[in-house]
Amino acid sequence: MEKNNLTNIFLFIITLFITGIILRLAQPVIISILISLLLAYVMDPPVALLKKMGAPLWLSVLITAFIFLGIFTVFGIIIYSSLLDFARKFPVYQMKLTAMLRETISKIQIYSDEVFETDLLDELKHIPITSIILSMVGSIINILLKFLVIFVYALLILYGKYRITSKIMRSFPKKKGRKIAIVLKHIDEGLRRYLGVKTLMSLLIGFCTTIILFFFNVEFAIILGCITFLLNFIPTLGSAIAVMFPPLIALIQYGNYSRPLWILFTLIIFQNLIGNLLEPRIVGHRLKVTLTVIFFALLFWGWLWGAPGVLLAIPMTTSIKIVMGNIPALQSYSRMMEKTPKKTKSSPNSV
């Protein structure tokens, strides 16, 4: 018995090691598929609506594809021009930031009678951020090709998931096929609810951030809104980082603390209203994972895939939790990942 346990542990470690190698080597393909899956569920509501209106599946997917392609084209042009503007103005911000840091260090030296090395500030002035951004923008053809591949993958996933039930019923015995189809239906509904709501909430926060920054006349409002949208896929930590960038830009732009503090205060209010009040009411606590799971997910996927892994870590971990929650043998592990719901005081009349 003990020998069998040791063999199982050894096989589990080997399997885990091989899986890690495959995930690392197949990183570009797997990340493309995961982004395609996320995009497919974002595009799913219009397809479902068109199908309810009586349109055939192929026409629903085609119309949705044209709608989202138009939206992505408009946003792509806006972001492209914003990045060019950012690259052009960044050297001025670089000089302002260096001057502010030098002034702050000088004041600290006066009050503390300590001498600090300022060689790092000289290095800061020579960081080629502008050339890095321009090189990213210059490879626009490569970016477009990658996006088109991901977009086509998303359409195939979107089309295929509506036909999978009939294929399962044809491929398996009637009773077993119905059971598998029900499980897949529940998984699909959970993924649609979580990924759709999370994307919508992140989009709403990014849009509100952009409007607030336009109101305060902060430059690069669109880029900062896009960064906020992406970072809000990382619970708590991402939101905290997202609210720090706009006040920093405003501080460098205006050189005083009043406007950045107002921006920070306003963004924190909107983040909390949407992230802590609106989103939990729609998603529910059962789709919320604990901070421990969030930390280890960010650590593992960030180590494995770098920045894309950090951005995909929580959507991917929550999706895995949804899948496990619909498989009887894995439901206990799914519950372990959940946040414990807050206890409500029972009323005197309750039984």
Range of the domain at 117: 26-162
Could you tell me the pLDDT band of residue 305, with boundaries at 50, 70 and 90? confident
191 falls within a domain: no
Please indicate, yes or no, if residue 32 is contained in any of the structural domains.
yes
pLDDT recorded at residue 351? 31
103 found inside a domain: yes
Mean pLDDT highest for which of 8-12, 33-37, 59-63, 104-108? 59-63
Q: Does position 114 have pLDDT exceeding 60, yes or no?
A: no
Q: What is the pLDDT of residues 210-236, one digit of tens each?
A: 999 999 998 888 888 888 888 887 777
Confidence of residue 141 (pLDDT cuts 50, 70, 90): low
H helix count then E strand count, the chain: 17, 0
Q: 262-268 contacts: CB < 8 A, separation 24 or more? A: 262/216, 263/212, 263/213, 263/216, 263/218, 266/212, 267/209, 267/212, 267/242, 267/243, 268/243
pLDDT at 140: 63
177, part of any domain: no
Percent of the chain's residues with pLDDT above 90? 5
pLDDT of residue 8: 66
Query: Has residue 138 been placed in a domain?
Result: yes
Q: Structurally, how many domains does the chain consist of?
A: 1
Answer yes or no: is pLDDT of 63 > 90: yes
In a domain, 93, yes or no: yes
Is 179 inside any structural domain?
A: no
pLDDT score, position 65: 92
pLDDT at position 62 is: 92
Query: Is residue 79 one of the residues assigned to a domain?
Result: yes
Predicted confidence (pLDDT) at residue 124 exceeds the cutoff of 70: no
